[in-house]
Structures are given as structure tokens and as C-alpha cells.
């Protein structure tokens, strides 16, 4: 009798476990990740191939991390900003006065790490040709030159329209801000050396590639980079598997400065200043 009771209890437990497993099966998700490509075409603000202006120099940085403020799927080239399917909008705050991205709540990821994961059921079914992403923060390694010695440093670059920063850090270097910073604020620290600095790139100097500038413009001072899917992303509403979107960003000579000494080396100690930190193009792709 005891054996029968135990067997019955074990069978009931197994059925319960199987039932729970079925209930916990995750529904199909939209997953978004970033990729950084130093060989991707370098574009200007109109989405056309560009070269480095005379008097400037540039380098392709080694990316550590990135963050974005906004993500939108657009059906056509005439879909106006905000009129597509907005799938992500980061937290904002007025702590610094005017409305700004709240850096303390920004999700910061490295290449290949999941930035966004939401149920596909939350996304409007449709046929999407374009993707827009408003980038807000970049962290990468760059080479600098000082008194005939080459160093490696880390640069934190804030390219969002406006960002409220309590404080941020690069290694052991703390930068207390407690204020808003508009597009182009940057901070820099030498790796393993007691040196740090910060500054502001000129207003409007950050390149934001938008191939749809003539049909679907973006506000000045924003960092809404626009890219076209190689083939349209179709969301039917009946998906049974995840869709993973990879945002391939061109970092081809994306860190640019004005030269004092024409040697292709960034030397801030002699007055060479950052003029552009914008990503140089977006190619979105997806896997179902």
C-alpha cells in the first residue's frame, strides 16, 4: 500500500513538473544586438561615402561599449521620425533643467551582447524597410601621441541630443558632472597613467548618417542613425521563433580631430581638438 501511495505521488509530481515546463516556455522575442565594423563604408550625414577633410585626421577606435536612446522600425523612406514602430525609448529626466537622457538608467552593452529583448507580440505587424537608432553613449580605446611617445587611452563619448550625467568613470577616474551635457561632450583618460581630461566637440559637428535626409529628416543635434535592411523585415504577428536584429555600425575612422602637426597622430597636448565622434553608418540585418 505504501509503495502504491509513493508511486502515485511521484507520478503526480512528474506531471506537475511537465505542466510547469510547458507554462514557462518563453514566447517569441525580438532581440537586438550591436556590431562594430572598422571596414564598413564611412558615410557622411546624407548617407554618402565620405573622406576625411583636409586639415583633419581620424582613426578607427576599438570599441568597448555602447548605448542607445531610441529604436524605431520604419516601413518606407517617407515614414517620418516617430511615425514608425517605436520598439524602445530609454528613460529621460529633467533633473538638469531641460529634458535629457538619464545616463544613470542607460543600458550599456558590448559587441554581441543583448541590448533589447521584448516579446514580438508587442510589436505591430508590418513590412519594415528601414531601421533608426538614436545612439547616446560610446566608450572606446584610441591611440594618442605625447612628447614623441605613443599611448593608449579610453574615451567616453556622449552623442545623444542631451544627457543628464550625475557622474561617470573611466577606470579609476571619476568625472562628477551633475548637469546636462549636449551632444559632443567627451572625457578621456590614459590607460595606466595619471592623466584625464574632458571637453565638448563643436555643436553640429557630430556626423549622423541619414540616407533619408530628403524624405525623412531628423532634428539637428540628435543622433538618429538610419539604415536599410538588405531585405525587408516582415513581422506577421504569428511568429513561433525569435527574431534577432544586429545593428552593424561603421567605426571606419569615426574618431576625428583637427591637426596641428600633420602626422596622423592625435596629440591633444599641442592643441589638437576632437571635432567628430559620430558613427559612420548603419547596416541592420536580421535572423529568424
- What pLDDT digit, counting tens, does each position of 27-61 carry? 999 999 999 999 999 999 999 999 999 999 999 99
Query: Where in the chain are the domains?
Result: 30-287
Q: Rounded to the nearest 5°, which phi and psi values hold at 160?
A: -70, 165
pLDDT over 70, % of the chain: 91
How far apart (Å, rounded) are the C-alpha atoms in residues 67 and 249? 12
Q: pLDDT of 243-272, one tens digit each?
A: 999 999 999 999 999 999 999 999 988 999
Taking CA atoms, 242 is separated from 71, 88, 229, 234, 239, in Å, by: 18, 17, 17, 13, 8
How far apart (Å, rounded) are the C-alpha atoms in residues 204 and 161? 10
> According to the model, what pLDDT value does residue 24 have?
63
Mean pLDDT of 79-88: 98
- pLDDT at residue 19 greater than cutoff 80: no
| Grid cell 574632458 in the structure block, residue | 198
How far apart (Å, rounded) are the C-alpha atoms in residues 13 and 103? 47
> According to the model, what pLDDT value does residue 276 have?
93
Q: Which of 177, 131, 182 is nearest to 160 (CA)?
A: 182
> According to the model, what pLDDT value does residue 202 have?
87
Would you give the DSSP letter of residue 5?
A: H
Mean pLDDT of 63-71: 97
Mean pLDDT of 82-87: 97
Mean pLDDT of 95-103: 97
CB-based contact 203:214 (threshold 8 Å): no
pLDDT band at 186 (very low <50, low <70, confident <90, very high): very high
- pLDDT at residue 13 greater than cutoff 80: no
Total-model pTM? 0.89
Mean pLDDT of 170-185: 95
- SS3 of 44, please? coil
Phi-psi map region of 213: left, alpha, beta (phi>0 left; psi -120 to 50 alpha) = alpha
**C-alpha cell at position 29:** 522575442
**C-alpha cell at position 247:** 545593428
**C-alpha cell at position 245:** 536584429
Amino acid at each position: 500500500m505504501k509503495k502504491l501511495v509513493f508511486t502515485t505521488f511521484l507520478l503526480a509530481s512528474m506531471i506537475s513538473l511537465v505542466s510547469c515546463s510547458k507554462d514557462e516556455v518563453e514566447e517569441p522575442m525580438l532581440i537586438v544586438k550591436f556590431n562594430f565594423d572598422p571596414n564598413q563604408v564611412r558615410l557622411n550625414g546624407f548617407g554618402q561615402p565620405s573622406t576625411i577633410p583636409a586639415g583633419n585626421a581620424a582613426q578607427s577606435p576599438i570599441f568597448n561599449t555602447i548605448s542607445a536612446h531610441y529604436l524605431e522600425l520604419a516601413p518606407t523612406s517617407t515614414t517620418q521620425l516617430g511615425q514608425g514602430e517605436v520598439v524602445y525609448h530609454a528613460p529621460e529626466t529633467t533633473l538638469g533643467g531641460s529634458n535629457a537622457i538619464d545616463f544613470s538608467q542607460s543600458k550599456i552593452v558590448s559587441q554581441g551582447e543583448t541590448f533589447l529583448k521584448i516579446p514580438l507580440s508587442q510589436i505591430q505587424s508590418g513590412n519594415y524597410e528601414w531601421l533608426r537608432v538614436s545612439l547616446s553613449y560610446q566608450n572606446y580605446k584610441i591611440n594618442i601621441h605625447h612628447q614623441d611617445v605613443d599611448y593608449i587611452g579610453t574615451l567616453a563619448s556622449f552623442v545623444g541630443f542631451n544627457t543628464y550625467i550625475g557622474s561617470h568613470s573611466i577606470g579609476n577616474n571619476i568625472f562628477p558632472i551633475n548637469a546636462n551635457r549636449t551632444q559632443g561632450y567627451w572625457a578621456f583618460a590614459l590607460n595606466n597613467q595619471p592623466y584625464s581630461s574632458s571637453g565638448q566637440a563643436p555643436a553640429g559637428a557630430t556626423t549622423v548618417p541619414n540616407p533619408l535626409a530628403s524624405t525623412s529628416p531628423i532634428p539637428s543635434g540628435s543622433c538618429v542613425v538610419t539604415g536599410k535592411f538588405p531585405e525587408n523585415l516582415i513581422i506577421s504577428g504569428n511568429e513561433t521563433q525569435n527574431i534577432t536584429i544586429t545593428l552593424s555600425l561603421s567605426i571606419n575612422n569615426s574618431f576625428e580631430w583637427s591637426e596641428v602637426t600633420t602626422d596622423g597622430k592625435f596629440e591633444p597636448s599641442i592643441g589638437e581638438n576632437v571635432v567628430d565622434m559620430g558613427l559612420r553608418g548603419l547596416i541592420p540585418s536580421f535572423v529568424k
